Every structure is written in C-alpha cells, then in structure tokens.
C-alpha cells in the first residue's frame, strides 16, 4: 500500500477533511446570511452570489468523488444531447438506488458549470440539517413534506419563483420519492397492481404529482427533461464512507433528452408519460444487468481542477491555525486544556459521522414503507 493510499484509510485524515468541510460550510452559511440584504436591492445579483457560495461548499464533496477516490463517471448518450449540457434550464429525473447517486449527479453538474445553481425537490427534514439544509435555504430550494395536500401550494409557489432564475439550472426530481429498498419495492408493486399499472423490477412506482407540477410551473423556463439512469460496474453498491476511504468506483449514466414540448400538457397524460418513462428505465437497467453496458455513445467529460483548488484553499486557510492551536494546547501541558481539545475532536467526529449518516440507505426515511397508501 502506497503512502497516499494509506493516508486515505486513516481516521485522523477523515476528521481533518470533515473539519474543513464543516467549518468552511459554517463560514459560507454566515456569508449567505449576510447576503440577504441584497435580495430587496438586486435579487438576481443575490442569486448569482449564492450560486458561487454554494459551489464552494458542494464542490468539496465532488472533489472527494473525483480526486480523492478517483471514481470515474461515463455518460451513455449522444453528442447532440451532451452539447446542450449547461446551456439550458432542465428537469432531471434520476433513479434513487444508491447512497451516492446525488454525488454522481453533482459531478456532472460541476463538469458542465451548473453545480452552484442546481436545484432539487427535497424533503422538508433536510432543511434543518446543518450546512446542507441551510445552504439550500439560501438557494431557494423547494422543500416538501411529501404529503401533497399540504405541499401543493408551497411547491407551486417555490417553482414559480424559479421561473426567472438568472443562471442555467438543473432541477432534480427523485420521482420515486425515496430510496429503493426491497421492502419499499414490494409495497410499491402492490400499489402498482392495485392501480393496474405495469410492475417494475428495478424501480419504485413513480409519484407523479411532483413531476406534473414541476413541468406545469416551469413550462416556458425549462427546455427539456433529462432522464438519467445510473448504475455501477461490477454490481458495486458504493457509499459516502467508501468514497472517504478512497475506494474507486465506476459509474455509468445513461442520459436521454426529451424536449419539454413533447411532454403532454394535460396532467393525466403527463402522468402516463412518466409511468411509461419508468418502464423504459426498467428496461435499461435490465439491459445493463445482462450486458454490463447502456445503449448510446460512451463519453467521459473531463474533470475540472476547480474542485481540487477550492478544497486546497479552504484546507490552507483552516488547517494552518488549527495545527498551530493544537500544538499550543499540547505544549502548554495543561490536562484541562488537552481534555477540552480532545473533547472538541470527539464532538467534531460525531458531527461529521452524523452528516454522512444522512446519505445511508439503512438510515433513510420510512417514507414508502406504509402498507397502504392513498391514491395520488
């Protein structure tokens, strides 16, 4: 094992990476709070500033995927579609099977210059997660409780507010509503059978309300829907902890572009269009499991250096005083100060682990586990 590979497995290194992410995130959140004074003066300038602040935080996670673990992401699409990446507002539909599916999406948004302006329809609980939810709040992310009767007005208002967004945005929808598990899949297919819908093998039954509402509210703003089907070579099931330990994965993403004018305006027809799309996604996953490849031209957009340079900037700014402070504590010989410092390290470790826990499948929400669901 080489020195770098050895360092990637060491807890203290993980703790330092976590320290940089958390402290830089708190600084960024504070600066975002200060930018609120810009909103009544120049809303679009406020948005541009916050896109760049968000980039400075999210790109640290992308750095872990691209540079720390060396994970490779291959696109299966066509050149005409890829040529439009980063040059139009779009809705992204992504399967929700893996702990790091969001991170694979982020690495593509970074490579095409829309990481800071990327959006998502997120569950309300994430709003209260430090760094993640706080940053999203300033980015005007649309949050929902996943109860349509309560969410309808909030979601519609949030989506309509994005209609004049000044930077190209990719709006991510997890139409399945929650991560895939065998229990949720079994229950979901019972619902599909009760509604007379074709069963899916690799996906949960898509929830159509969020999709049809997003298409309706963003018509005239977004140009297309990108359907993204993600899988990993070697039947791997990657995790954020694995990335932190430097494990390299190979992600394959099949991307298909559907012009928005091809999607029905009628809500019921648009819902049927989404169900048909998921049947096609299921067929794509079946093909991948059998042949180990998606259809389409293979493209590997090059990673950019900005994520690495951004992390090195924050590491330089934050670790130098930390090392100086820690050395001073131990040099003082004071048991009380040393214990207090070790207590701080322990608390930081716990906090970082809790943040990682947000992505873990086994700690995911119970949404979708109910035996009976109301009809959408």
pLDDT score, position 375 = 43
Q: Is the pTM value of this prediction over 0.85? A: yes
pLDDT score, position 360 = 53
Residue 120, both tokens: 């998502």
pLDDT score, position 177 = 87
pLDDT for 48-100, tens place per residue? 999 999 999 999 999 999 999 999 999 999 999 999 999 999 999 999 999 99
| C-alpha torsion 347→352→358→363, nearest 10 | -60
Taking the C-alpha atoms of residue 117 and residue 165, their distance in angstroms, rounded to an integer, is 9
170-173 and 90-94 beta bridge pairing? parallel
Q: How many CA atoms lie within 13 A of 153 on its CB side?
A: 2
pLDDT score, position 374 = 47
pLDDT score, position 60 = 96
Q: How many CA atoms lie within 13 A of 366 on its CB side?
A: 2
pLDDT score, position 178 = 87
Residue in this structure with the two tokens 């709040």, named with its chain if needed: 137
Contacts of 185 (CB under 8 A, 6+ apart): 204
Closest CA to 68 of 316, 234, 242: 242
Taking the C-alpha atoms of residue 248 and residue 204, their distance in angstroms, rounded to an integer, is 28
Dihedral over Cα of 70, 303, 315, 57: its sign: negative
Looking at residue 67, what DSSP letter applies?
Answer: I
Spans of the chain below 70 pLDDT = 1, 348-376
Residue in this structure with the two tokens 């999607």, named with its chain if needed: 263
pLDDT score, position 369 = 52
Please, what is the angle between helix 306-332 and helix 335-357, to 10°? 150
Taking the C-alpha atoms of residue 373 and residue 376, their distance in angstroms, rounded to an integer, is 9
Q: Under DSSP, is residue 146 helix (H, G, I), strand (E, B) or coil?
A: coil
Ramachandran region of residue 240, left (φ > 0), alpha (ψ -120 to 50) or beta?
alpha
């Amino acid at each position: 094992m080489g020195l770098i590979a050895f360092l990637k497995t060491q807890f203290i290194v993980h703790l330092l990476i976590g320290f940089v992410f958390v402290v830089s995130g708190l600084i960024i959140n504070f600066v975002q709070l200060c930018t609120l004074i810009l909103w009544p003066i120049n809303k679009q300038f406020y948005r541009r500033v916050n896109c760049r602040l968000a980039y400075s935080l999210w790109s640290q996670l992308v750095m872990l995927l691209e540079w720390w673990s060396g994970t490779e992401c291959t696109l299966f699409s066509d050149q005409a579609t890829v040529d439009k990446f980063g040059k139009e507002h779009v809705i992204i539909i992504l399967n929700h099977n893996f702990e790091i599916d969001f991170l694979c999406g982020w690495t593509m948004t970074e490579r095409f210059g829309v990481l800071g302006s990327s959006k998502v329809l997120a569950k309300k609980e994430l709003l209260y997660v430090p760094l993640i939810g706080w940053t999203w709040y300033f980015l005007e992310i649309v949050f929902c409780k996943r109860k349509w009767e309560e969410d309808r007005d909030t979601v519609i208002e949030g989506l309509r507010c994005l209609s004049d967004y000044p930077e190209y945005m990719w709006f991510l929808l997890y139409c399945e509503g929650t991560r895939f598990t065998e229990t949720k899949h079994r229950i979901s297919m019972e619902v599909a059978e009760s509604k007379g819908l074709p069963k899916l093998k690799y996906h949960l039954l898509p929830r159509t309300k969020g999709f049809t509402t997003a298409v309706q509210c963003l018509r005239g703003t977004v140009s297309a829907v990108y359907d993204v089907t993600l899988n990993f070579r070697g039947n791997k099931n990657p995790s954020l902890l694995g990335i932190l330990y430097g494990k390299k994965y190979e992600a394959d993403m099949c991307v298909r572009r559907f012009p928005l004018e091809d999607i029905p305006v009628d809500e019921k027809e648009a819902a049927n269009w989404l169900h048909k799309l998921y049947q096609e996604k299921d067929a794509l996953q079946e093909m991948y499991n059998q042949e180990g490849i998606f259809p389409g031209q293979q493209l590997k957009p090059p990673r950019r250096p900005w994520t690495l340079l951004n992390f090195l900037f924050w590491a330089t700014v934050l670790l130098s005083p930390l090392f100086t402070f820690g050395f001073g504590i131990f040099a003082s010989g004071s048991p009380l100060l040393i214990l207090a410092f070790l207590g701080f390290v322990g608390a930081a470790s716990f906090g970082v682990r809790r943040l990682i826990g947000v992505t873990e499948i086994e700690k995911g929400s119970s949404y979708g586990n109910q035996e009976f669901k109301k009809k959408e």
